[in-house]
Chain A
Amino acid sequence: MTIVTDPPKASFRVSQLIYDTRYRSITFQIAALIGFLILIGWLISNTAQNLADLGKEPSFGFLAEPAGYDINQRLVDYDNQNSHLRAAFVGLLNTLLVAVMGCAAATVLGVTIGVLRLSKNWLISRIMTVYVEMFRNVPVLLWIVLIMAIIIETLPQPRDFRGADPQASMALFDSVAFTNRGFYIPEALFSRSLGDIHLFGASAMRFDVSLDLLALVAVLLAGLWASARIKRNADAVQEATGVRPTVWHFRLGVVFVPLLAVLVLLGFHLGYPALKGFNFQGGTHMRNSLIALWLALSLYTAAFISEIVRAGILAISKGQTEAAAALGLRPKRIMNLVILPQALRIIIPPLISQYLNLTKNSSLAIAVGYMDITGTLMGITMNQTGRELETVMLGMLIYLLISLSISLVMNWYNNRVKLVER
């Protein structure tokens, strides 16, 4: 009996690069890498050639030049002698402003509609279905320009508010004016203000933060923290003795009394808009473009959020509700302790990706003339300086950074709430 063994294969043949699974993956990857690098190199060389032909050296020097255009809706100081970089920064803040406002409104509206769609009331759930289908199946850009057109065509002009017998009048006890140039709302003023702190000195990124606002936020956070401490103590007492002490009035007081005290100390009052000449003075002016963009993005995204909320609640199996009821929990506690914690795990990731969509959709501001980062950097700055490559690349980079930071938050949350299986 002899044992036949394969002769040792010492030699390496070229065909092994393709047919031997040990080497094949490396071969493929090297081929892919070479192809990718060739593609990139080809694009870069084309770009360099084309730019040289046009006589444009790629440079970001234009960012320091005076912008020369005005931005009517802004959160920080700006005039047309400031640099393009400053204009882009103002635009970025405007993007973030409409994104934050839109996310807040869309969440409130979307959750309400999602819950109402699950209502046992046939009529209500049908109305909400019509809302969702109507907004989901029509482009958001159409909603934006439609709402803008409605504001311009149907709301009164500021001059209609003039005279002894005006055609239009202000709403909410003369505090808010809805005009076709935008909404004028009261602003918060402090007669004993703490002043502002100026961040980033004289650079293009400089902005002021109101110390009053910081103080209010700090007091609010401290109050919430104290309230949470009281709740924890009450929980501990309940664990130990079985009797839950009544603490809700302490918890409310510890949040609101210091807040009110600070407001009084700072001399808080509202500055109302008033008609002076041909336009309103005082108060905060929200431009019609901001209103149109905000409303359209919120209404549109709310339709998607309501579907997410509905799906999240429906995804919790009926057995969970029944088991909780069998444990003797009341319906409200079943919702709070059993359904919602599980539904939130399903709802939050797609909800955050809707926030991301809303932020990206806010770039459609350019259609109604709201000066966000697209309107400033990739709009007027690009047209004035002719720097298409630099402005579009910079704009994409900024959006990419915003998106990546939102997805980082989402990944962190996903990892935190992930069910550990097997």
Chain B
Amino acid sequence: MSDLHSHTVAFVRDTMLPQKAPPGTSVGVVGWMRENLFSGWFNSLLTIAAMAFIYLVGSIILPWLISPTWQAESLGECREILAGLGREGHFGGACWGVIRDRWIQLLFGFYPPESYWRPILALVLLAVALAPVLFSDKVPRKLIWFSAISAFIMPWLLWGGTIWTPLAVIAGFVLAYFVYKAVDTAAGALAAIIAAVVAALVWWLFVMGPVSEALSSILPLGIEPVESRKFGGFMLSVTIGVVAIAGSLPLGIVLALGRQSDLPLVKAICVGFIEFIRGVPLITLLFVASTLLNIFLPPGTSFDIILRVIIMATLFASAYMAEVIRGGLAALPKGQYEGADSLGLDYWQSQRLVIMPQALKISIPGIVSTFIGLFKDTTLVSIIGLLDPLGLSNAIRADADWNGIVWELYGFIAFLFFVVCFGMSRYSMYLERKLQTGHR
């Protein structure tokens, strides 16, 4: 046996060979290209077609973008400059003069120029106020109080007027808090909530106006008021978008809870509201805001068109938000509800401590895409005559100087929207990663 073995096996390796480097064609740039671009004849064909496409698009767009027309005063002048360089036709070159001429208008509308610092300051405040909400782990928690206060400061900065109005509104919340505290010890939580709401409503509806008027006549602190019809441009979109986003989340949560509720009547009301709003286009709701809302309210009330639009946009987004959050609630395993019940938590405690944190986390992608949709939908206000960037673009294109301009103007507006919406979607991805607890 052993003889036979020694005859048949001439050589037995007893040490491993060192690993060889992979062939040069399967690593590095070449390897990557072989795998991702040229892995077969069909793939190679696709790659070549894609490269040709990119070259074609690039060879049109790049020369078009690089166009020395920044100083031009009209489209005709742009064409003269370009014709002087021997560039003609639709793709001869961009006419950047329109952006230089109108970019301030596209950002601020007809807001008085001497007050531009106010929307800019409001934007800075917004950024600071959002920081503790968006990046809760990197920013001190105390800053949330600043966020709460700046929610009242920002509208005051934008619309101006006496400072006593926002202060009186804050006073309403303070009043409600103290009423709640006082009644809670005396008569229980439910009565306390009702009393606090009633006290705040009475204050806002009947007492606040005379008090703030009296205060402002004693001590007239304030800034120049700006009418709503002077609002416009990107500032208007951001204003409507931010307020409607901030309003639609809490309203959406309430509607979602109502839709999941065991009380058939509450559920029916919520379902009816949600399905109605989701069934009609936003533009019809904006028609309601522009023509019908004054008919629905008591005779003689007439309030600001921007406020009316914000109300309708908030209602619209809250119905979509409710559906997104309902999805999150439905995705939670039943054990979470039962666990919360077995700990002896009541309905609101279990919602606040157990259900909502998880349900909201699951629904983050949906919530953010609702936000993005809402922000994009703010352009619809141009149809009812507000001067958002698109409304202004119609006016600019009707101007004799810029009649016939297309790509530069819409490209600029599209770029502004793209930056904001793309930023929001990246933030949602970051948040998803951060909150991932590794269950899946």
Contacts and interface: CB of A to CB of B under 8 A. Distances in A.
A33 B272 CA distance: 13
Interface stretch (B116-124, B195-203, B221-229, B276-284): B276-284
B281 A142 contact: no
Given A149-B406, A399-B280, A400-B276, A364 B383 contact: yes
B417 A389 contact: no
Contacts of B275: 404
Contact of B46 (A119, A142, A378): A119
A399 B279 contact: yes
Contact of A137 (B39, B288, B372): B372
B376 A399 contact: no
Contact of B263 (A32, A137, A363, A374): A32
A279 B400 CA distance: 28
A231 B296 CA distance: 62
A315 interface: no
A115 interface: no
B25 interface: no
Contacts of B46: 119, 121, 123-124
B404 A142 contact: no
Given A124-B50, A141-B380, A149-B406, A43 B296 contact: yes
B265 A133 contact: no
Interface stretch (A45-53, A78-86, A186-194, A325-333): A45-53
B36 A120 contact: yes
A29 B284 contact: no
Contacts of B379: 139, 141-142
A319 B256 CA distance: 36
Contacts of A235: none
A250 interface: no
Contacts of A51: 295
B383 A153 contact: no
Interface in B23-77: 36-37, 39, 43, 46-47, 50-51, 53-54
Contacts of B413: 142
B93 to A, nearest CB: 15
B184 interface: no
Given A149-B410, A388-B292, A400-B276, A137 B283 contact: no
B298 interface: yes
Contact of B284 (A136, A145, A374): A374
B271 interface: no
Interface residues of B, number: 58
Interface string A174-190: 00000000000000000
Contacts of B50: 121, 123-124, 127
B182 interface: no
B280 A400 contact: yes
A370 to B, nearest CB: 13
Contacts of A141: 379-380, 382-383, 390
A97 B149 CA distance: 50
Contacts of A378: 284, 287
A138 interface: yes
A154 interface: yes
Contact of A403 (B279, B288, B390): B279
B358 interface: no
Contacts of B299: 46, 49-50, 53
Given A123-B50, A142-B417, A46 B383 contact: no
Contact of B279 (A123, A374, A404): A404
Interface string A18-52: 10000001001100110010000001001101110
Interface string B276-309: 1011111110011001101111110000000000
B376 A403 contact: no
A395 B393 CA distance: 28
Contacts of B376: 137-140
A213 interface: no
B55 to A, nearest CB: 12
Contacts of B146: none
B53 A127 contact: yes
Contacts, number: 154
Which applies to chain B's interface (DSSP): helix, strand, loop or mixed?
A: helix
A211 B145 CA distance: 71
A127 B49 CA distance: 12
A50 B295 contact: yes
A213 B195 CA distance: 69
A239 to B, nearest CB: 36
B285 to A, nearest CB: 8
Contacts of A50: 294-296, 299
Interface in B375-417: 376-377, 379-380, 382-383, 390, 393-394, 397, 404, 406, 410, 413-414, 417
Contacts of A25: 262-263
Interface stretch (B1-9, B96-104, B243-251, B418-426): B418-426
Given A28-B266, A29-B264, A123-B51, A142 B410 contact: yes
Contact of A392 (B47, B263, B282, B292): B292
Nearest to B44: A121
A32 B265 contact: yes
B190 interface: yes
B90 interface: yes
Contact of B417 (A36, A46, A138, A399): A138
A367 interface: yes
Contacts of B383: 141, 364, 366-367
A124 B279 CA distance: 37
Considering residues B50, B264, B382, B394, which has the most beta carbons from chain A within 10 angstroms of its beta carbon? B50
A122 interface: yes
A122 B280 contact: no
A37 B404 CA distance: 54
Interface in A316-372: 360-361, 363-364, 366-367
Interface in B130-153: none
A363 B414 contact: no
A101 interface: no
B269 interface: yes
A199 interface: no
A209 interface: no
B390 A145 contact: yes
Contacts of A363: 281, 283-284
20 contacts: A29-B263, A29-B264, A43-B296, A46-B296, A49-B299, A121-B46, A137-B372, A139-B376, A141-B390, A142-B410, A142-B414, A146-B414, A149-B397, A150-B406, A153-B90, A153-B406, A154-B406, A382-B291, A395-B284, A403-B280
Closest 6 interchain pairs by CB? Answer: A403-B279, A137-B421, A122-B36, A139-B376, A363-B281, A360-B281
Given A53-B299, A138-B417, 4 more contacts: A360-B282, A399-B279, A400-B276, A400-B279
